[in-house]
A and B are shown apart, each in its own frame.
Chain A
Amino acid sequence: MQPGETVMDAESIARTVRRLAHEIVERAGGTERLALVGVRRGGVPIAERVARAIEEAEKRVVPVGSVEIALYRDDAATALPDPKIGPSRIDFDVNAREVVLIDDVMQTGRTIRAAIDCLLDYGRPRRVWLAVLLDRGGRELPIAPDFVGRVVQVPDGARLEVKLDDVGFERAICVRSATT
């Protein structure tokens, strides 16, 4: 895909979120011990939308939390200080839960490594899964998602830009060149 192209529009994002929700419930064998944790900041609205889709389909509320990975980055010494960090919020007991980490875009895998470290500081889940809306390849660590919305090929150096609507939901995901 080339700069300027739309990777996903609002409709395909909504459809993909519903599919991810069904796949997660099916693989987890229900919702009883399920919990979703969004990776701040892009993964949090996706996690909330997946939770809502699960609630609509299963009539069960699944707890949703968030993890801030800035403090766990492996490049903390050179990337600090990031003024936009926020707190992690996990208000439920993660012990013995089936936790699905959710992010919007996956590339190197370093963010997810940091997110797993952060999550484990809250307790010992029975299992941790990973769901991503978009997998753009370019892995630098041996980490693979269990649930993928869509796999895309994006030129090296280009960034995927998530456009949000008024309430913070993804309106579209576009390819942006590295220089713009």
Chain B
Amino acid sequence: MTRPFRHTHLLGIEGLEASDVAQILDAAEVFYEVSRRPVRKVPTLRGKSVINLFFEASTRTRTSFELAGKRLSADVVNISTSTSSVTKGETLLDTVQTLQAMHPDVVVIRHSASGAPHYVSERVGCSIVNAGDGAHEHPTQALLDAFTIRRAKGTLSKLVVTICGDVAHSRVARSNALLLRLFGSEVRVVGPRTLMPSEVESLGVKVFDRLEPALEGADVVMVLRIQRERLEGALLPSMREYSRTFGISPRTLGYAKPDAIVMHPGPMNRGVEISPEVADHARSAILDQVEAGVAVRMAVLYLLAGEAGAGPGTQG
């Protein structure tokens, strides 16, 4: 029997096929159920070690990975740069090689440099999971978004998904566009031209510069966080103007399909990219995304921490 999950690392949506994504999402359904039991823990990864190595601040992604590992009974260690040797000048590779000498099974890495997880994966023996690298990819976020969409819509095919906001700096947008295109959905991106990457069409998306036509007939509205530092970088005139032009409000949401869901990777700027009414709306799937995040990360750890050459279950 060959390895059921054919990847050693999860570095991005790029390189995955639709069947790989479906396998992760199907496994996540099982773990979604585990997270709703009275005892939210299974002994599956007992004796395995997972290290969360975060070079960027992140509460929700790190907590989600931590809970995922713990619910699988793995030993989970969290390392953030503020408490690591990085502050003493150690290189990324030195840090990871030091950790590898402790024999972890999976290292989850978030880094501000695009490609950092790829660089590490080529130099270590354990599985690497990309928890966000620069403006490049955030594969588990795209997978949890896909899980949320599949639960709400029953499919990932032939949907219209509109991604609104700072596409240029968003690894979430890039990973989501890659994943949804794998299943044949239409992906639209909309935002100020200053926040749109120059080769955005290469992702296979349709580009809009006005919100209303971009939302027309959308099944899913994915809102991206606007960073306040973009104002200082002179990419936006003002938050107020951004909110008026590209903010998702009950009025603009009216252009999408009546059963469209609204998503946001968090943390939200209420009143900037999303109005409080929409954030708390019955069609908001934002908290569903958080719940899906733990299940999807459990599935990823489960699939990567298994041994190669797994045999079929014994009768008994």
Chain A residues engaging chain B, CB cutoff 8 angstroms:
68, 70-73, 75-83, 85-89, 105-111, 117-118, 121-123, 136, 138, 140, 159-160
Contacts and interface: CB of A to CB of B under 8 A. Distances in A.
Contacts, number: 88
A107 B43 contact: no
B313 A81 contact: no
Contact of A76 (B23, B29, B33, B43): B43
B80 to A, nearest CB: 29
Given A71-B42, A76-B43, A85 B27 contact: yes
Contacts of A83: 4-5, 23, 26-27
B118 interface: no
B315 A76 contact: no
Contact of A121 (B5, B27, B39, B303): B39
Contact of A105 (B39, B307, B315): B315
Contacts of A140: 316
Interface of B: 4-5, 23, 26-27, 29-30, 32-34, 37-39, 41-48, 302-303, 305-307, 310-311, 313-316
Given A107-B316, A110-B314, A76 B45 contact: yes
Nearest to B302: A81
Contacts of B33: 87-89
B17 to A, nearest CB: 14
A159 B313 CA distance: 12
B44 A71 contact: yes
B38 A107 contact: no
A85 B314 CA distance: 14
Chain A contact residues: helix, strand, loop or mixed: loop
Contacts of A123: 38
A81 B4 CA distance: 7
Contacts of B47: 77
A108 B315 CA distance: 8
Closest 6 CB pairs of A and B: A80-B306, A108-B316, A107-B316, A81-B306, A121-B39, A87-B33
A51 B313 CA distance: 27
Nearest to B299: A81
B315 A122 contact: no
Nearest to A86: B30
Contacts of B302: 80-81
B4 A106 contact: no
A117 B37 CA distance: 13
Nearest to A81: B306
Given A79-B313, A83-B5, 15 more contacts: A71-B44, A72-B42, A76-B45, A80-B306, A81-B5, A82-B310, A83-B4, A85-B27, A87-B29, A105-B315, A107-B314, A108-B316, A109-B316, A121-B38, A122-B39
